[in-house]
Each structure stands twice: as structure tokens, then as C-alpha cells.
Structure 1
Amino acid sequence: MLGLAVFAAGCASDAPTTRGEVKGQEFNAAELLQSEANRTAKNAMLANQRSLLLLADKLYRRNPAEWRKTAASREAALAEVEKALSAEQRWAPLAGKRDVAALTLALSGDFSGDRVAAFIIACNDTIVTAHGGKRDFYYLDSIDPQHIFNAARNMETALWVLNTRRDARGQPLLLSNEITADQRNLSFEREFGKIIGRLDLLASTMTERYRRAAIGYVQGLALAPVLAFLPVK
């Protein structure tokens, strides 16, 4: 027992004690025109873009032939993907297709371009489209919770296709998760899980926001007679 305690203490001492901290964004005057729900949607979208960039990096590391199709280095290819995620115009190699149509093309056996970039950019475009095609949200903007929910299901489908679809030679379109006798790499699954979780939470939050607004209106009508001021003289 004493030896076990010493071993456990040694393991604990090797574990990192600092794992980062929560940080807010710098104040922007545009926030004065945004509600808490607007900020939640914006922050979730930014977090999903960070996850997609991380996935792009992971996919390029496992599929170096993809970035070599268009760039001199993996870093240069990543920089182009990051630029495309923030751009309003369509990404040329996707032949003008958007959201789920772009995803279908990126995951088709006939696509010959940089499949990593195509897949990540199509995922991002699907998410942006579900938000009404907007990247910033203000008081008068509304988000359809069902569209956000559908985007989460589309991400699940995209992940399943990524893990299962093969090319004409029987090889995976892109190498991602790996489970072997010696190695277990499910980092792609975990990162996609974060994206799906954020989308589901946002859909639930927006649904509750609209539901509570309706309930609040009815409560106001019902309680108006009770809360009416009485004459004091």
C-alpha cells in the first residue's frame, strides 16, 4: 500500500498543473448592438472554426499528399484554409458549390483537388449557412434552431463518410482516426464531437430563448391585472 501511494504521488507530480485559462475577447463597440444570445452564437462559430483548423492540420499531417497538390508546405496550405474560412466568396476548387453540395463534392471519389481543404471549407460553409449565412449577429438577427440542429447532424454524417468511404483502390479518401494493436488515435472523433456539441447546445439555447419569450409575453398578459398599481389617495 505504501509503495502504491508513492507511485500515485509520483504520477501526480508529473501531471501538468497548468492547462490554460478561460479568456474573453477584447471589447468591441459593435457589442453594444448585440445580445447575450448574439455573442453566444458568434463565440460558438469562432470556436468551431478553430476546431476545423485543428482538424485541417491533423488531416494534413496524416495526408501530406493533399497539401502538396497546392502549396509548398503544410503551413502554407493551412494559411490558405484559414483565409478561406473567413472569406465570403466561394472557394474555386469546389466549383461554385456551397454547404452540403460542397461536402458531397469534397467527399466524392471523383474530386482530384486538395481534399483536406475542400472538406474543411465545406464543413465551415455548412455551419455558416445554417446561421443564415451570417458570421456576426445583432439584436434584429434571428437564427433558426432547426437549421443549427440540422448542421450538427450533417457534421455527424460527414464524419461517418470520412471514416468509411473508400476510393476505387479500396483506400480511405483521407486517413483520420486510427485504431491498431499498437496505437489508438481518436482525436478526429473528439474534435468533431466538440463541433457537434456546440451546434446542439446553440440549437437548444435558441429554442429556449424563443420559448421563454413567448412564455414571458403570456405571463405579462396574465399578471397585468394583478400587478396593476392601486390608487393611494
Structure 2
Amino acid sequence: MTGCASSHSTQTNNGGISRLAKSDVDEVIEIHQKAVMRDLKKLMVKLYKRNPNLRYDREIRTIKESVDLTFSRRFDFNYPEYKTIKRPTDIVRLALDEHYQGDRVLAFIVGLRKMLMASYDNHSEFFYLTSIDQQKLYNSARNIEIAAWLLAKNNDKDGNLLILSDSVSDETRNLSYQRLIGRMIATQDNLALIISQKTGRILKTFVVRAASLVFLPI
């Protein structure tokens, strides 16, 4: 009885201290981060279902198991095939390089996940003294737009999409990918605006143009 009471008291105190160390904005940041990561995970599931032959572990795991494994690893997990690549957005570009022979979906999602985490300064918990840059959040939203455009347009030498998503020419249009990606963009944009208003810092806005798809720095 004493041991149980003591354990409960410790848990309550730790939870209370954790809550006291967070502002309302900190909790809003964590909610947005969880939301964008949840949608990124859903996107990975959808892309694997659409591109079953691209999955590197299709012979030993289900799609759910494969996706769960990816997201159970830390965002900075050292994948050997990307170890020489310094910028997360270069992993996204690798996924959509015609000459790449690896799991394109994995590279696309890993690159986006690393890029998104960088926009949160690689934090997964936020407290009073945890800083976050609204410009990085805004830039990450534009980078998602660029990644989505590349996903929809990059073909092999025969004109076939490297990663299938929305639809191909003879199929009924499937807009669920656009809605999911659009929600991720909105999540990052909304949080960038919240932080900008909280800190009084001005956001530098950009228009993504198809003619010059350059990923923005994070």
C-alpha cells in the first residue's frame, strides 16, 4: 500500500512539474508537431499501398509493420544509404531521381521527416525556454509543396511516374493524397503564424514556382 501510494505521488508530481514547465504555446507546438507526423505516417502507408513493389521489406513485413518500424526509429536514425547526404531535402530528391535503385517511398518519407523535425529544431518536447523559429516552420511548408510537385511530376525515361500517388492517365482522379499533403502544409503554416504573432517577428513569405523548385533552407 505504501509503495503504491509513493509511486502514485511521484508520477503526479512529475506530471505536474512537466505541465508547469510548459506554456500554452508549448502545448500548441506539440499538438501541431504530432499532427504533421501523424499525417506523414498516413502518407507513407498510402504510398506503399499504391507502390507495393517499391517497398524494400515487402517479403518479411506487412505495410503496417514496415511503416511502424520506420516511425519507431528516431528521426535521426542512421540509414546507411543516406549517411553521406547532409540535407534532408536531398534525400527527398534522391527518392525522385530516375537512377536511384532503393526504396523510393522510404527515402521520400525519411527526407520529409528529417526536414520537418529540423523545422522544430529537432525537439519533440517544448518548454518555456525551448526556442522555435517561425521562419523554419514556414519554409518547411513550402518544402512540402515542392516535394509534392516533384512527386506528381518526376518520371523515368519512358514517361512513367517514379512514385505513383494521385492517379495515372486512365484512372479516376484520387485527391486523397492532395488533401493529406495540403493538411500537412496547413499545419506548418498555421504554427508559423502562431509563433510569429507570439514573438512579434515578421515572416518572410515566398511563392513556390514550378520553374525554379529549390528547397528552402531550414
8 Å CA contact retained: 1:90, 1:96: no
Cα distance in structure 1, aligned partners of 2:39 and 2:149:
17
CA apart distance, 1:113? 1.4
1:136 lines up with 2:125 in the alignment: yes
What are the ranges of 5 or more consecutive residues in structure 1 without an aligned counterpart? 1-26, 213-233
What are the ranges of 5 or more consecutive residues in structure 2 without an aligned counterpart? 1-13, 202-218
1:117 lines up with 2:124 in the alignment: no
1:57 to 30, 45, 64: 45
| Structure 2 counterpart of 1:192 | 181
Q: Secondary structure of the residue that 2:200 maps to in structure 1?
A: helix
Distance 1:38 1:90, change over 3 A: farther
1:183 lines up with 2:162 in the alignment: no
| Structure 2 counterpart of 1:107 | 96
Which residue type is aligned with residue 34 of structure 2?
Answer: L
- Greater Rg by CA: 1
| Structure 1 counterpart of 2:115 | 126
| Structure 1 counterpart of 2:26 | 38
1:88 to 76, 82, 96: 76
| Structure 1 counterpart of 2:57 | 70
Structure 1 consecutive aligned stretches of length 4 or more whose deviation exceeds 4 Å: 179-182
- Shifted more, 153-162 versus 71-80: the winner is 71-80
8 Å CA contact retained: 2:141, 2:188: yes
Distance 1:96 1:179, change over 3 A: same
Cα distance in structure 2, aligned partners of 1:28 and 1:60:
38
Q: Aligned-pair RMSD on alpha carbons?
A: 2.0
Cα distance in structure 2, aligned partners of 1:96 and 1:195:
28
Which residue type is aligned with residue 54 of structure 1?
Answer: K
Distance 1:92 1:38, change over 3 A: farther
2:162 to 173, 191, 195: 173
Of all paired residues, the percent bearing the same amino acid is: 29
CA apart distance, 1:41? 1.2
